[in-house]
Amino acid sequence: MTITIDGTASWRDIARVSEGESLALSQAAWERIAFAHQIVAAIVEKGIRAYGVNTGVGALASKVVAPALQKKLSRNIIRSHACGVGDLVPRRGVRAIIAAQVANFAHGHSGVSPAIVSNLLTFIERDCVPDVPSRGSAGYLTHNAHVALVLIGEGRATVAGRPMSGLEALAEMGLEPLELGAKEGLSLVNGTACATGLTSIAVLRAQRLLGWADAAAALTLEAAGAQMPAFGEQILAMRPSPGIQDVGKSLRGWLHGSELIALAHGSRTQDALSLRAVPHVHGAAREVLDRSAALVDRELAAVTDNPAVFGSLNDPQVVSKAHAVAPALGQAADGLTIALAQVAGMSERRIDRLVNPLVNNLPAFLADEDGANSGFMIAQYTATSLSNVNRRLAAPAATDGGVTSGLQEDFLAHPTVAANKLLAVIDNAEYILAIELMAAAQAHDFLAERGARAPGTDAIYQMVRDNIAHYSDDRPLSGDMETLRNFIREMDVPACPQPDV
């Protein structure tokens, strides 16, 4: 399917392109791009002084660049800014960055040629993934520059899964290296496309993750004989919160009709907080996710290139401003990171309650033969380790600041660092939830004769067992963890049953 951008793209559009769908622009968007390109030509022709068009960039903004050197300026910006380091951004991340960059150009205030945008769309269509190092971007510059290298026939890329040079990649797609004109080098590295694209992916993955978090918690709550009155609609309404109400409804739906829950009714006055406070932690995360998603959409609606061009061919206008700085986006990614770290941390605590013989009536560590078998003892260590990493990653990036470019850029919001931290926390949280699902399914194997699961949780149990078998210390557990993590990473949780409860 092809996503078409007419006015403003949404985070869902960017996420869908990241997962393999194509991208196109409406005729109106093409017309806006072409007109902005003509505005830049008029600025150059009239000799209007403009940052990055006929001046240097950063602390070199006062250095005038002669018309004969403006193409060289654009090319050199790409080369000098392509200084990322570390592991490469995965395929879906690069596709999201390109899609967000095209969406920014489609507003019609950047001034790049239609050929640049057309070639970027061809990258998406032909699955050309430039080699983009994941680290080194304080805001946006380095990631975008590595994408732009391939446009000019430099750098490296993978086309349909085959690695090659940037020049070979263009030839593979029937394209020629582009000669960049005035402002085009700056526009190709500018804007918040990097952080916006990566955060769009994070929002999609977080949405999926929170669905599985509710399902995993329900399976554990059932195994633990949770006291359901704490999740009653009227009880939860005492603390006004859409997120709490949504999660409470989800848990009631998953657990409706459970014999195990009925048998445990009244056995305790209250459960441990890792069980009792699931609606509060998961609900808070849902609300942070909703706010973050709305903010990413607002970022996609913004013109984040600098400078922006507008006006008419007779009266071309260019204004330098700070829209490429994205503190709100960094704060949103930081906030979602904290929320998901809490969700994962609570999942790790529930895992402990499943394996810990001091707090349950299950076989110690869910082992078939405790002593000879260790069962899930060390799997809980793994979850604890990942949760520990998440706590450190949850420290905000947006407050770090920094000074670059000879005091010219003396404030940094670090939205790309925040987005990368968010994605790393999601990676860890997926593993932790996979371990909880594995442990909860193992617990239910021992509870099979005590009572029936709810129809909802039984569906989750069967999905786990369709992917991994009961564990008897007969194989390394890491393989099961990878299998189930990959499953919940790519698959949406099934619809939660919603009986009249």
- Quick one: average pLDDT of 203-214? 98
- Quick one: average pLDDT of 374-390? 97
pLDDT beyond 90 at 68: no
Q: Do residues 483 and 468 touch, judged by C-beta distance below 8 A?
A: yes
First and final C-alpha spacing in the chain = 39
**Structure confidence at residue 498 (pLDDT):** 82
- Quick one: average pLDDT of 246-254? 97
pLDDT digits (tens, 9 = 90+) for 357-377: 999 999 999 999 877 899 999
pLDDT digits (tens, 9 = 90+) for 434-458: 999 999 999 999 999 999 999 999 9
- Quick one: average pLDDT of 188-193? 92
**Structure confidence at residue 406 (pLDDT):** 63
**Structure confidence at residue 423 (pLDDT):** 98
Please give the share of the chain, as a percent, with pLDDT higher than 70. 95
pLDDT digits (tens, 9 = 90+) for 274-325: 999 999 999 999 999 999 999 999 999 999 998 999 999 999 999 988 888 8
Q: Do residues 282 and 217 touch, judged by C-beta distance below 8 A?
A: yes
Please name each of the domains of the chain with its CATH number: 2-190 (1.10.275.10), 199-490 (1.20.200.10)
pLDDT digits (tens, 9 = 90+) for 93-122: 999 999 999 999 999 999 999 999 999 999
Number of residues written out for the chain: 501
Q: Is the dihedral of CA 179, 181, 185, 191 positive or negative?
A: negative
Structure tokens at 113: 């040629």
Q: In sequence order, what are the beta bridge partners of 318?
A: 309
Kindly indicate the confidence band of residue 501, based on its pLDDT and cuts at 50, 70 and 90.
very low
**Structure confidence at residue 73 (pLDDT):** 85
pLDDT digits (tens, 9 = 90+) for 123-149: 999 999 999 999 877 666 899 999 999
